[in-house]
Amino acid sequence: MLSFRFAMVFLGVCAALLVSLALYSRFEAARIESRFPPVGRFESVDGVRLHFVDVPAGPGAQARDGLPILFIHGASGNLNDPMAAFRAALEGKRRMIFVDRPGHGYSERGRGDAAAPARQAALLAGLLDRLGIARAIVVGHSWGGSVAAAMAVERADKVAGLVFVAPATHPGRAA
């Protein structure tokens, strides 16, 4: 009898702990989101809500060469990483699209194989379609390099050129 009661109390404590952690997680997420709200717009592509910042080219920039640049961030980042690195230097010269990859920043994860580079590439190509962009230069950093490479293979029609910044495009050697 004692072991049954102990098991029931233990399960009750575990359940209470899990509920408390879930509530705390929601509270912290809401607090963080209020301090760091989304900085861009949202578009839904294939049922996945994507967050992005669309920075227009300056007057005359489109007439020179017209190719917009799509920036794809790395594994543990969001669109603020490449935006901090490139926006000031390129603003007014090119149209720039900074996007939160699915499951990062304010973009939804999506279903199934949402983390796979090919799936993310398809969603980002769909975003370009939604924005009326026929072709873009695609810049991929770290894991974003895998997504950029997948886009070049799967949707070559959307890719005018690739730029890899410290890409994770191939399996690494074990250390």
Q: What is the pLDDT of residue 77?
A: 92
Residues 29 and 94 in one domain: no
pLDDT reported for residue 118: 95
pLDDT of residue 73: 97
Residues (pLDDT < 70) of the chain are 1-2, 60-65, 172-175
pLDDT score recorded for residue 65: 64
85 with 33, same domain?
no
Query: What's the pLDDT at 60?
Result: 67
Q: Count Cβ atoms below 10 Å from residue 63 Cβ, excluding itself.
A: 8
The verdict on residue 171 lying in a domain is no
Based on the domain organization, do 26 and 45 belong to the same domain?
A: no
Query: Which pLDDT belongs to residue 76?
Result: 87
- Could you tell me if 86 and 26 lie in one domain? no
- pLDDT on residue 1: 56
Q: Is residue 77 part of a domain?
A: yes
Do 16 and 91 belong together in one domain? no
What range defines the domain where residue 9 resides? 1-37
The total number of structural domains in the chain stands at 2
| Unique residue bearing structure tokens 């894991």 | 143
Residue 150: the pLDDT is 97
Give residue 112's pLDDT: 83
What local confidence, expressed as pLDDT, does residue 173 receive? 67
- Does the predicted model carry a pTM greater than 0.85? no
**Residues sharing a CB contact under 8 Å with residue 168, sequence separation 6 or more, in sequence order:** 74, 75, 142, 143, 145, 146
Question: In terms of domains, do 28 and 65 share one?
Answer: no
Is 145 inside a domain boundary? yes
The predicted pLDDT at position 135 comes to 96
**Pair (57, 111) in one structural domain:** yes
Residues 168, 175: Cα–Cα separation, whole Å: 16
Phi first, then psi, for residue 41 (nearest 5°) are -110, 175
Indicate whether 17 and 49 sit together in one domain.
Answer: no
